Amino acid sequence: MTTRDRLLGLTVVILWGLNFLAIRAGLDQYPPFFFAALRFAVIAVPVVLFVRPPRVPLRWLLLYGTGFGLLQFAFLFAAMNAGMPTGLASLVLQSSAPFTVVLGALLLREHVGPRQWLGIGVAVGGMVLIGWDRAQTATLIPVLLTLLAGLSWAFGNLGNRLAKSTEPMRLMLWMTVVPPLPLFALSAAVEGPTAGWSALAVSVTTGQLWGLVGLAYIVFLGTIVGSGLWTVLIARNPAGVVAPFSLLVPVVGIAASWIVLDETPSVLSLVGAAVVIGGCLWGLGTTRRSAELVRPELAAVAPVARSGQHHEPVARSGQQHGPVARSGQHHEPVARSGQHHEPVARSGQR
C-alpha cells in the first residue's frame, strides 16, 4: 500500500468516525429502517438518472449493495435504536475487519502474512478490551445486531473485491441503488407505512433539522466521499490490507461521542484504543519483502505471489524478456545475471 493510500485510509477513518454522531442525530428523529432507506434513496435517484452503470457482473453488484448497504445499515440502525451507545457501536461495527480478512483468506484465497495476522489480533484485542469495559452500558441484543452489521459489511467488501471494477466510484454509486426499496418495504412492514414520512414532515414544519443535517453528512461525507474512497482503496489493494484501517474508526467515534454526547470513556477504554492503533500500525507496516514470501516447496517452480495477485518474476538485471507487470498485469520471467527464465524466490528460498 502506498503512502497516498494510507492517507486516504486515514481520511476515511475520520469521516466514518464522525458519521456515528450524524447517525445518532437522525435516529433521534426518524425510525431506523426509514432513516436507512432515506440515506440511500437520496443518492440512488440521481445515480439512476445521470450515472452510467459500472461494467461489472450483476451478482457482485448485488452482493456489494446487499452486504455493505442493505444489511449493514439495517442491523446497525436497529442496534443503535435499541440502545447501543454511539461510541460502542463505532467499536463493535469494526468487527468487519477481522471478518473481512478471514472471509478473504477462506473464500478468495488472499494472502495474509503472519505480521498482518498478528497486527489484527492485537487490534482486535484492543477492541475486546474496550468492549468489555463498555459492555455494561449495552444489552446483548444490540451488541449482536451490531456484530451482524459488521459481518454484512465484510460480505459487501468481498462483493466489491470480486466485482474487480475499473470504475470503483461508479460501482460505489450504483451500490446505493440496491438498498432503498427493500429498506422502505421493511420500514412499512415493521414501523408502519406512514411513520417515517410523518416524522420527516414534523421535523421540517417545526424546524427541528438536526436529523436532516445528520442525513446530509451521512450522504455526502459518510457515503459519497468516505465509501467512495474506501471502494477505491479496496479495489486496488487486497482486502486484508485495507480492512484493518476500519479498526481505527472507533477511536474517532469514541472521542467524538466523548466530546459531543458526553459519553466519557474510562482509562481502560483509552488503553484499549491505544492498543487498537498499535495493532493497526504494526499490521499495516508489513514490508514488501514479507509480502512476497512464497512457500518453500513451491519457490523453485512457482512465480512469486504478491498479496494474492499472481504474476511472473520481475527482472532484476534490467534485461527484459517481456513487458514489465504493473498492478497485477502478467509478464514473462527475466534472467538475473545471465540465468535465463528461472523464477526468482525473493524470500531467499529457492
pLDDT of residue 138: 63
Q: List the grid coordinates of 115.
A: 505480521
At 347, the pLDDT band (50, 70, 90 cuts) reads very low
Please provide the average confidence, as pLDDT, over all residues in the chain: 78
Among 19-33, 101-115, 221-235, 301-315, the least confident range: 301-315
In the three-class reduction of DSSP (H, G, I as helix; E, B as strand; rest coil), residue 227 is classed as helix
pLDDT of residue 30: 95
| Rounded average pLDDT over 311-323 | 43
> Cβ distance 134 to 258 under 8 Å?
no
Task: Decide if pLDDT at 22 tops 90.
Answer: yes
Task: Decide if pLDDT at 181 tops 80.
Answer: yes
At 184, the pLDDT band (50, 70, 90 cuts) reads very high
Tens of pLDDT, residue by residue over 201-257, are: 999 998 888 999 999 999 999 888 987 888 788 778 886 788 778 778 888 888 898
Q: In sequence order, which residues have a C-beta less than 8 Å from that of residue 307 and are 6 or more positions away?
A: 110, 111, 237, 238, 240, 241, 291
Q: Is 221 exposed, middle or buried (0-12, 13-18, 19+ CB in 10 A)?
A: middle
d(Cα 103, Cα 248) in Å, to the nearest integer? 20
Residues in a beta bridge with 305: 310
pLDDT of residue 189: 96
Task: Decide if pLDDT at 74 tops 90.
Answer: yes
pLDDT of residue 316: 42
Q: List the grid coordinates of 305.
A: 505471489
| Rounded average pLDDT over 58-77 | 95
| Rounded average pLDDT over 66-78 | 94
Q: Is 108 exposed, middle or buried (0-12, 13-18, 19+ CB in 10 A)?
A: middle
Task: Decide if pLDDT at 315 tops 60.
Answer: no
pLDDT of residue 310: 42
Task: Decide if pLDDT at 268 tops 60.
Answer: yes
Task: Decide if pLDDT at 112 tops 80.
Answer: no
Quickly tell me which residue has 495476522 as its cell.
117
d(Cα 151, Cα 155) in Å, to the nearest integer? 7
Q: Is the dihedral of CA 158, 187, 140, 210 positive or negative?
A: positive
Q: List the grid coordinates of 345.
A: 524466490
Q: Is the dihedral of CA 136, 138, 143, 144 positive or negative?
A: positive
Q: List the grid coordinates of 339.
A: 540465468
| Rounded average pLDDT over 10-22 | 92
| Rounded average pLDDT over 79-97 | 84
At 288, the pLDDT band (50, 70, 90 cuts) reads very low
The beta-strand segments (E) located in the chain are 305-306, 309-310
Q: Identify which of 330, 301, 332, 305 has the alpha carbon closest to the alpha carbon of residue 319.
A: 332
Task: Decide if pLDDT at 327 tops 70.
Answer: no
Say which amino acid occupies 247: L
| Rounded average pLDDT over 166-190 | 93
Residues in a beta bridge with 309: 306
| Rounded average pLDDT over 296-313 | 36
Phi-psi region of 174 (alpha: psi -120 to 50; beta: other; left: phi over 0): alpha
pLDDT of residue 134: 67
At 78, the pLDDT band (50, 70, 90 cuts) reads very high
List Cα–Cα distances, 139 to 2, 136, 250, 269, in angstroms.
41, 8, 19, 18
> Cβ distance 21 to 257 under 8 Å?
yes
pLDDT of residue 32: 95
Would you mind telling me the total number of residues written for the chain in this entry? 350
pTM, 2 dp: 0.71
